[in-house]
Structure 1
Amino acid sequence: MTPTGRLAGFVAETSPGELPAEVVAAAKVAILDGLANIVAGAGQPVAQRVACWATAQGGTTESTVVGGRQLPSALAAFVNGVAGHCLDYEVQGYPSAHGTSSILPAALALAERTGASGAALVTAYAVGWDVQQRLRTAGERTASRSFHPPGVVGPLGAVAAAASVLGLDAVAAATAFGLAASRAGGLFANNGTMAKALHPGGAARAGVECADLAALGVTSNTEILDAHRGFADALFAGEADWDAVTDGIGKRFHLVDPGFSIKPYPAEIYMQWPIDAAATLRARHRLSAEDIAAVVVEPPLYRADLSRPAPATGLDGKFSYEYCVTAALVQDRVGIGTFADAVRFSPAVEQTLPKVVLRENPDIPKDKLDTWARVTVHTHDGRELRETCHSFPGSVARPMDRDARILKVADCLASVGAEDRVTRLVDVVERLEEVEDLTELTALLG
């Protein structure tokens, strides 16, 4: 059987109630984090503008977006996907991919439209995550670095989740994969702009549309992944590791093996290590901007596009080692508000940012499971202060406990004045596999 057929069979054959308990538990952790990101992200300018555009399109009211409006399912998935990704705060798989903002909005939109159960939503999320991460792993060695993973594998993860909710058989699921593969794209050059959030948002929308179209009989190449001039030829240089796609499928789930990281800071994944090191230095030594003479950052990955000595906006700062370390050194806490323009151009940041330099360290491993970062601060009174972060809180090696996860959810909801929903949201998601329909959950998005 072809790789497309194996994945389609996995989607069709995995039913609610069949997932291992540890997979259900992991899925609920990621779903809760994702919903918190969607609610918080809806307050960001890009999400508001996309929601305004989508609302103006009209159409059948089928699925809820944050704010309580209802839109056609594909548009609801698009809006919620943009909101879920724009903070760059959602969980991250290994290899790196933003799964939740592609998968969850697609599954949620269709689950609401069809009256599916919470167990069906959990199953769709787990299936979508596994498809996405298997494909991400298959192309890890050869994938073009110009493409942003959520735009490449996101449509396939989203359509897997959508097909799961709709109960498509293996043939229809393979057709849906063929349709979604033609929607793959998304360029790294848009990192630091509003366009980046459209990658997973567009993937979520594609997932809904392509699953619906497959259900209606629209045809595609049902062997698209390894077809001549197909998905792998175009995006993985024709050298995909197909064993990574098929080995242990249905038995080994990427949600638990190798798992995922929960970001403690709303910034690009490689920023997590140096932010944590810098924040530790500030807290331990009670540093202020006036103390700092020079800063040296040895980042986990030395890459030109992650060195942005003078980011144009706070949003651009999410992809700047220099800015992220500066913010961690001059603020008591790095959070959602850290990446507002008012902070980016604040006196403390403007004073400190030019003092930060990067230094490549060849001894730092490139694998995210083993990498680390070091920040060294030279003070005006002659001190040399150094801190190394090997595992940030929330990483696979240093997982967040439940209390820490709920604090992150509370932080997200408080950022948009929705702190009164925290307890109810946590309660619904933690018993999601027992919920008969999603009315209670979608009401909390209003």
Structure 2
Amino acid sequence: MSSLTAEIGQFLANVKYEDLPLEVLPMVRDAFTDTVAVVMVGMDQPVAEIVQTTLVEPSGVAEARACLSDLRVAAPSAALLAGAIAHSLDYDDQSMSGHPSTVLVPAILAEAEVLGSTGQEMMTAYVAGYEVWCELWRRDRGYHAKGWHPTSVFGVMAVAAAGAVLHRLQAERAAAAVAIAGSHAGGIFSNFGSMMKGYHAGMAARFGLEAARLAAAGMTAGPDAIENKQGFLMAFSTERTPDLTSDSRLGKEWYLPKHKIQFKLHPTCYFLHRSFNATVKMLEGRKIDPEDVESVEVRMGRGQVTVLVYDRPQTRYEAEFSGQFGIAAAVILGKMGVPELADEVVQQADLQAFYPKVKLIPIDEVDERDPVFSTYESVKMTLRSGEVIESGPILTVPGQAGEPLTREQMWGKFRECTAETHSDDEARELFDALQRIDSLPSAASIPTAAGLFESRLATNVQ
């Protein structure tokens, strides 16, 4: 039996007018007629002017640099593009069950160019958006289990909050921005392992900015859109038991010091980094023939196992969410960078033969800093000879909160990532500017990469 999704697609591909029941045709005609009518009568309503002047007309305006290139597009379009690209390899940072910077940074950089915001204002907007994400996220957990992508659920709210700060909105308008964003929140987990996961981030960045712009222009929204029993929190809650009543902690305590940003040295879901890293260390100094491995048991958080759904990955997108790939890469490749995530590598016969040997075993102990993670992981490898090799408890990995990357490590990753777009000198100039962003007079002070899109994308990305 084919999947429901496939059956729906097939229906849509094949349906013809001649197949429609005759009795529905008058109703469908009325539906078209009535809808056009109510559009016409509403042309003089405030929402018409707000949407027209805030979103439609600027869509063709060269407001901001797309990905810091010399291609200029509307700021929401720049946020969409940069956000989608930033998350496309799953190489971006992680915290609070999602990826805050991949939505916040593209949106803030784009809107800061429009508003002339200083580096300090950009930094303030980032922290404000991050804190709002935390405030909402702490009220319920387990979004992956219900089928949501937290990055796009919370990211759009965070960007709206950051946009409100950049626009210097008053309290009522800032609240409206976040309420508006609640109707844009979404992103389904079943699109993990495809290009759509990256798009979720771009989507959140764009819609968050648009929410802030709409609020600035006067768009109204539900005053209790977040805590209402039919509002944001309840709509996305896994168990329908979100905290709707506790007081906000915003402005009373800071979340960022507790829920730190975690940076990656590998372009995959962060949930498989600890076990990969531990396996590499565990095998240092000895060469293991993959055929000599009988089995590998990886114990990790139940939430992590929920996300690592591809036990037999065939593409780079699937490998990003495969604990089996992480262990196979550690044993066979010894590294897990961008080249190792290529489709042809993921499909190598030796890797494919190794995947079935790896079993992920969920444990229920959780890390309070981010309960999607367990407090520890462990790897147990059994060889055909009967020998057992164990990692012991794995508590951290470079880039995690307890083991932050050094400036040298951060530069090493930055230079690797800019190898195809910047010369050594250009990369260093950009790196240094970003490392002192709060001292910059404006976003325009960040260097431009000329010609970045000439051979990569069509010039019309709006």
Give the direction of change, closer, same or farther, for the CA distance of 1:304–1:102 in structure 2 (3 Å limit): closer
Aligned-pair CA distance for 1:112: 0.9
**Alpha-carbon contact 1:291-1:380 (below 8 Å) kept:** yes
Q: 1:245 to 1:414 in 2, by over 3 A?
A: farther
Question: Residue 355 of structure 2 aligns to which amino acid in structure 1?
Answer: L
Of 375-384 and 169-178, the range deviating more from structure 2: 375-384
Gaps of 5+ in 2: 1-57, 453-462
In structure 1, the residue matched to 2:443 is 438
Q: In structure 2, do the counterparts of structure 1 residues 223 and 119 end up closer, same or farther at CA, with 3 Å as the change threshold?
A: same
Name the SS of the counterpart of 2:403 in structure 1.
coil
Q: What letter matches 2:299 in structure 1?
A: E
Distance 1:244 1:384, change over 3 A: farther
CA shift for structure 1 position 399: 2.1
Look up the match of 2:322: 320
- Residue 387 of structure 1 aligns with an amino acid whose one-letter code is S
Question: Looking at CA atoms only, which structure, 1 or 2, has the larger radius of gyration?
Answer: 2
User: Which stretch shifts more, 180-189 or 355-364?
Assistant: 355-364
8 Å Cα contact 1:413-1:421 kept in structure 2: no
Question: What TM-score comes out, normalization by structure 2 length?
Answer: 0.77
- Can you list the C-alpha shifts for 1:271-321, whole angstroms capped at 9, x where unaligned? 122111122134342435355343222233363552422113121111111
- 1:69 is aligned, of 71, 75, 88, to 71
> CA 1:374 to 1:228, structure 2 compared with 1: closer, same or farther past 3 Å?
closer
Deviations 1:121-144 (A, max 9, x none): 111111111111211111226886
TM-score (norm 1): 0.80
Alpha-carbon distance in 2 for matches of 1:176, 1:360: 39
Question: Is 1:108–2:109 an aligned residue pair?
Answer: yes
The code of the aligned residue for 2:390 comes to: R
Secondary structure at the residue paired with 1:357? strand
Return 262-271 or 117-126, whichever deviates more. 262-271
CA distance in 1, matches of 2:410, 2:436: 16
Tell me by how many angstroms 1:84 deviates.
Answer: 1.3
Equivalent residue for 2:226? Answer: 225
Tell me, in whole angstroms, the C-alpha distance in 2 between the residues paired with 1:141 and 1:355.
28
- Structure 2 residue aligned with 1:41: none
Measure the CA separation in 1 of the matches of 2:210 and 2:344.
39
1:52-131 counterparts in 2 under 5 A? 59-66=60-67, 67-93=69-95, 95-131=96-132
Q: Is the 8 A contact 2:149 2:188 kept in 1?
A: yes
Name 1:384's counterpart in structure 2.
388
Matched, 1:329 2:331: yes
Q: Find the partner of 2:344 among 339, 342, 360.
A: 342
Flag structure 1 segments of 5+ consecutive residues without an equivalent.
1-56
Contact 2:300 2:373 (8 Å CA) reproduced = no
* 1:335 CA displacement: 1.2
Q: Does 1:263 align with 2:267?
A: no
Please give the root-mean-square deviation of Cα atoms over the aligned residues, in Å.
2.6
Paired residues of 1:160 and 1:177 also in contact (CA < 8 A): yes
SS of match in other structure, 1:297? strand
1:86-117: CA deviation from partner (whole Å, max 9, x where unpaired): 11122212x31211112111111100112211
Q: Residues 365, 430 of structure 1: CA spacing in aligned structure 2 closer, same or farther, 3 A cutoff? A: closer
Query: Do structure 1's residue 421 and structure 2's residue 422 form an aligned pair?
Result: no
CA contact 1:180–1:207 (8 Å) conserved in 2? yes
Residue number in structure 2 paired with 1:375: 379
